[in-house]
Structure 1
Amino acid sequence: MIPLRDDNPTTIQPLVTIAFIVVCSLVFLWQNSLGGRSFEATVLSLGAIPAALFGGKTLPPELALVPPALTVFTSMFLHGSWMHLIGNMLYLWIFGNNVEDAMGHVRFVLFYLLCGIAAVLAQALPNTDSTVPMIGASGAISGVLGAYLLLYPHARVLVLIPIGFYTRLVHLPAMAVLGFWFVLQLISTAFADPRGGGVAFGAHIGGFIAGMALLPIFKYRHVRLFAPSRHLRQ
């Protein structure tokens, strides 16, 4: 299922959501401008490497651009490919505006970064010897998805469902879309490469759970959990 938009109006302009999308996009354009080897060097320098964070390993001096602890943040704004970037930004655009609406601009910044930190820890701590760099906004965005699920489970999401050579557009409740996404992460984790390559499914799960746990702290007091759908389209 590929989400295209939700049917859930907001009351404020999602300035922070837009800013994160712009920053991630500009950073990726910068990465691409560096060329092949420099692109890879940037990923090693600014990606979060578990062995550097917790295993006592160090990067060569020419790659150690920032302290290892700072890569927890820098890694959130790097991406490995156009599809990686577009997929993450699509999810952030669809679901981030409503979560930002529920907690305000400043709180949303802190919430997003904390979810990203939790995602890195969830992926890194089970395998602190891994030298595979983690990059991407998906851990932080997973936190946004977890928050959205608690806030607006009944909101309708327009999704594109590929069926063989055909596609179908359907409206589904957010609880179905995001619940399916989370179950898919759990299944994928069970079959993931234990050496840490590929997609960081553990980060997705960690970010999602962190988003659900942090939401009651960051949302406005008047904002209800499990809100009914506010606007339905046929």
Structure 2
Amino acid sequence: MFIPLYDGVALRFMKHPNATYVILGLNVLMYLLVASGLLGNENRIDVVLGMIPAVVFGSAKIDPSIALVPGVLTFFTGIFLHSGFFHLLGNMLFLWVFGDNVEDAMGSLRFTIFYLVCGIAGALLFALVRQNSQSPLIGASGAISGVVVAYLMLYPRVHVFGLAFAWLPISIAALYVILAWITLQIGSALFSSDPEVGWWAHVGGIATGALLTPLLKRPEVPLFGTRTA
């Protein structure tokens, strides 16, 4: 297990990664609104705004009296919900460390599109794999997975500072730590029986991020560049 904390890569094309800040703020705001009860019962919010494969594919239904959005829109709304503080913290930490440089390489508008498409594609793959599941899929993990693989494709030689095994300070090239992370996501999707983790959403985000990064990056930003800081 590796917890990224800092990469030390300065922005080249913008002063502030405003899209990253806005996305992070929206996730935190939604978490606070749900946790405080201002949006109603937390479990109910997960059901009506989280993506439920069985509802999307028509084998189950949400009571119309509590439905807030059409089922297809939950591919979007579910990206901004989290199941608890540590779920939120983990995703936002990855966004904080990796998102600013990916946004810098793409520009704020293209990065926002990239983030949302990766999140939606991740949820779609999860839904296709588990079409009869009646558990809501929530969380930004699919979108974050796209951001992480984009970082790998843009800055593989940059050293990321963080905690190995959650306690050991270490600096390691993004290439190694992210490849290990990707391997874990794919392996878990194929072999894990834990229904509480949307591994296939992570895989969908990874695949979509890999496809979109060459298309959305700035022309002057190379793929697999030699930049180290």
TM range (shorter): over 0.9
Q: Which runs of 4+ in 1 moved over 2 A?
A: 190-193
Q: 1:28 is matched with which residue?
A: 31
Aligned partners of 1:44 and 1:63 also within 8 Å: no
Aligned partners of 2:125 and 2:201 also within 8 Å: yes
Q: 1:137 is matched with which residue?
A: 140
Identity %: 42
**Could you tell me the TM-score, scaled by structure 2's length?**
0.94
Describe the shift of the 1:37–1:30 C-alpha distance in structure 2 as closer, same or farther (beyond 3 A). closer
Q: 1:218 is matched with which residue?
A: 216
Return 5+ residue gaps in structure 2 as ranges: none
Q: Which letter maps to 2:125?
A: A
Q: 2:168 is matched with which residue?
A: 168
Q: How far apart in 1 are the matches of 2:196 and 2:104?
A: 33
Structure 2 residue 131 is the aligned partner of structure 1 residue 106? no
Q: Which secondary structure state, in structure 1, belongs to the residue aligned with residue 218 of structure 2?
A: coil
Aligned partners of 1:78 and 1:137 also within 8 Å: yes
> Can you list the C-alpha shifts for 1:123-153, whole angstroms capped at 9, x where unaligned?
1101211111000011101000111111111
Q: Which secondary structure state, in structure 2, belongs to the residue aligned with residue 79 of structure 1?
A: coil
Q: Which letter maps to 1:24?
A: N
Q: RMSD value over aligned CA atoms?
A: 1.6
Q: How far apart in 1 are the matches of 2:141 and 2:134?
A: 19
**Could you tell me the TM-score, scaled by structure 1's length?**
0.92
Q: Which secondary structure state, in structure 1, belongs to the residue aligned with residue 201 of structure 2?
A: helix
Q: 2:183 is matched with which residue?
A: 183
Structure 2 residue 93 is the aligned partner of structure 1 residue 90? yes
Q: Which letter maps to 1:192?
A: S
Which of 185, 198, 201 lines up with 2:199 in the alignment?
201
Q: Which letter maps to 1:201?
A: W
Q: How far apart in 2 are the matches of 1:105 and 1:230?
A: 23
